[in-house]
Structure 1
Amino acid sequence: MHLLKSPWKIGLGIIPALLIYCVFSIIPIFISFYYSFMSWDGFSPMQFVGLDNFRMLLNDQIFWLSVRNNLLVVAFSVFGQIPIALGLALLLNRKVKGAKFFRTIAFIPVVISTVVISLTWRMIFNAEQGMLNQLLSNMGLETLTQNWLGNPDYSMYAIGVVIIWQFVGLYFIIFLSALQTVSKDILEAAELDGATEWQKTRHVIIPSIWNIILIAIVLCISGSLKTFDLIYVMTGGGPAHATEVMATYMYSETFRGLKYGYGSAISVLIFIFSITLILLCQRLLRRRDS
């Protein structure tokens, strides 16, 4: 109560975290906007080029390929992680033997280093000695063996499997926590009215946690558009840019090509795409909800 009467004390406590956030998150965004109008290799003096970097981007086929791949990552996340996580949460929200064990197992990939995950799955997908091809061969399905990360037709889908596996546990825990808040009285009333499990799930449980699902979708989209480390370690954007996403292309152009202005222009478009896609998704889902 004393704190509520002294809001300035709350503000004083927030200031250090806010300063750190501004220094490492907000200010770099504005710096990127500034650099995006410049031509700079990091050594020679900057030259103002206006919108030339953005004009070059609009005609850059590799950039648009990276945009398409980013949208694929968003699709893998939203239509893979969310339904699987919700299904697991609904299943383990019941009194199931070993539920605590399965909850722990599902969350482990979230806390493991992305580099470790990337290296492990790269070995699994290895064309010669990988576990996946060995398993298919032992099952008599040699015709299905592939160079999963070296074939442009399959590499992006192989990465999609890893992305779903890595983060499904995060949304599983979020949904499981949300399910604990659903009123048991309403569920009991639905049972007394003769509602089946599917009807309770569709008409009672899902509407009750719909706002949490919306938040999870927004997190999915924002995280997908920032995907970098997993793809960088597994494929480096190859083969032939088949797994290139906007973040890896920005890194390549900025630090390998020494095009800091061009790389900043890519980061600006990543920011714009992220905001646009999130707002569009929110509007569509809220319209559907109403």
Structure 2
Amino acid sequence: MTATLDHTAAPLIRRPAGRPLRQLVVPYLYVLPAALFVAAFLLYPMVLTAWRSLTHFDGISDPTFAGLDNFRDLFADPHFLLSLRNTVIWTVAAVIFPVTLGLVFALAFSRVRWGGFFKTVIYLPATISAAAAGILFSFVFNYDNGILNMILRGIGLSGLASRWLFDVPTNTFAMIATYTWQQTGLNMMLFLVGLQGLPPEPIEAAKIEGCTGWNLVRRIILPMLMPYVVITTLLAIVNGFKVFDLIWVMTQGGPGRASETLAVTMYREGFILFKQGYSAAIAVVISVVALAFSYFYLRSVLEQEARQ
């Protein structure tokens, strides 16, 4: 009987064999294409740009090491300082107008008749590219035969007709209006997702207590929606900070260089004036700021997921 017990207990204490090498390697093979893609098209360009920001390089001759000279020159360059100011204006406007309007439309059309139709109309501009939106509104703001000036002249307000894309700072405001038209729908959808995830009990309890209308929104809905407000705001800041295509299509940073942002200045310095080391320094500045806001954006997303 003892021998039988020993014989049956032996398999129970035997350790399982180690995993074959193939099973250890195969999961990494699935990840390898994505890792190579990231390394080739993200990490390598980032390292190369950081290195070139420390050199004088025209894209043709060999780069010469310059240390931090490019970064010192940036903050003594009036064009860079002007583009930095314009970028701040763009970033603030990208938060105030598209985010605010997106929130207003989400609250207004979330539970109304024909709400789906209005939400579709508002979201449609987000489905086209910024370059296409820029081309479209270049015709709208054209001085001679643009739709806006034609309407103003047709209703007897010819004095308000303006060279929208050639006068400073009117051209910046015109481009911000175009950007708002395109981005509002995307922000609205983000807020609609947040509204659908709100628990109904606090809202129903507040309505029973007589809290309705603006008081309901201000005291109950907005506090619960605040994580989505933070996420949408940080995302709008990142997108507004690096906007390029819409500006380039509508004004190319003109007249002169009066409406340039950092992204436009980076492109002009690198690919038109062939000062690629200087352009790389601007790219590093943009990347550092964008990464900082992206960090807070991702942290907000993870915190929101943790709450759920």
TM over 0.5, yes or no?
yes
Is 1:53 aligned to 2:53, yes or no?
no
Is 1:274 aligned to 2:274, yes or no?
no
Closer, same or farther in 2 for the Cα pair 1:253/1:110, shift >3 Å? same
Closer, same or farther in 2 for the Cα pair 1:68/1:181, shift >3 Å? same
Q: 1:42 aligns with which of 59, 70, 74?
A: 59
Q: 2:234 aligns with which of 218, 229, 249?
A: 218
Task: Report how far residue 200 of structure 1 moved.
Answer: 1.7
Distance (whole Å) between structure 1 residues aligned to residue 240 and residue 47 of structure 2:
22
Is 1:16 aligned to 2:30, yes or no?
no
Amino acid at match of 1:134: M
Amino acid at match of 2:128: I
Amino acid at match of 1:48: F
Q: Report percent identity of matched pairs.
A: 34
Is 1:113 aligned to 2:129, yes or no?
yes
Task: Report how far residue 146 of structure 1 moved.
Answer: 0.4
Distance (whole Å) between structure 2 residues aligned to residue 123 and residue 117 of structure 1:
10
Taking the TM superposition and a 5 Å limit, the aligned residue runs for 1:174-185 are 174-185=190-201
Is 1:169 aligned to 2:191, yes or no?
no
Task: Report how far residue 21 of structure 1 moved.
Answer: 3.0
Q: 1:155 aligns with which of 171, 185, 204?
A: 171
- Give the TM-score normalised by structure 1: 0.89
Q: 1:30 aligns with which of 41, 47, 50?
A: 47
SS of equivalent to 1:209: helix
Higher Cα radius of gyration? 2
SS of equivalent to 2:142: coil
Per-residue displacement from partner, 1:71-121 (whole Å, max 9, x unpaired)?
111111100011100000001111x22211112111111111222211110
Distance (whole Å) between structure 2 residues aligned to residue 9 and residue 107 of structure 1:
43
Aligned equivalent of 2:13? none
Distance (whole Å) between structure 2 residues aligned to residue 103 and residue 135 of structure 1:
27
Taking the TM superposition and a 5 Å limit, the aligned residue runs for 1:1-290 are 13-94=30-111, 96-276=112-292
Distance (whole Å) between structure 2 residues aligned to residue 104 and residue 259 of structure 1:
45
Distance (whole Å) between structure 1 residues aligned to residue 140 and residue 265 of structure 2:
25
Q: Paired residues, what number? A: 278
Distance (whole Å) between structure 1 residues aligned to residue 219 and residue 28 of structure 2:
42
Kindly indicate whether the alpha-carbon contact (under 8 Å) linking 2:235 and 2:297 is maintained by their aligned counterparts in 1: no
Task: Report how far residue 7 of structure 1 moved.
Answer: 11
Distance (whole Å) between structure 2 residues aligned to residue 226 and residue 80 of structure 1:
17
Distance (whole Å) between structure 2 residues aligned to residue 93 and residue 40 of structure 1:
54
Kindly indicate whether the alpha-carbon contact (under 8 Å) linking 1:152 and 1:240 is maintained by their aligned counterparts in 2: no
Distance (whole Å) between structure 2 residues aligned to residue 281 and residue 60 of structure 1:
31
Closer, same or farther in 2 for the Cα pair 1:156/1:10, shift >3 Å? farther
Kindly indicate whether the alpha-carbon contact (under 8 Å) linking 2:56 and 2:63 is maintained by their aligned counterparts in 1: yes
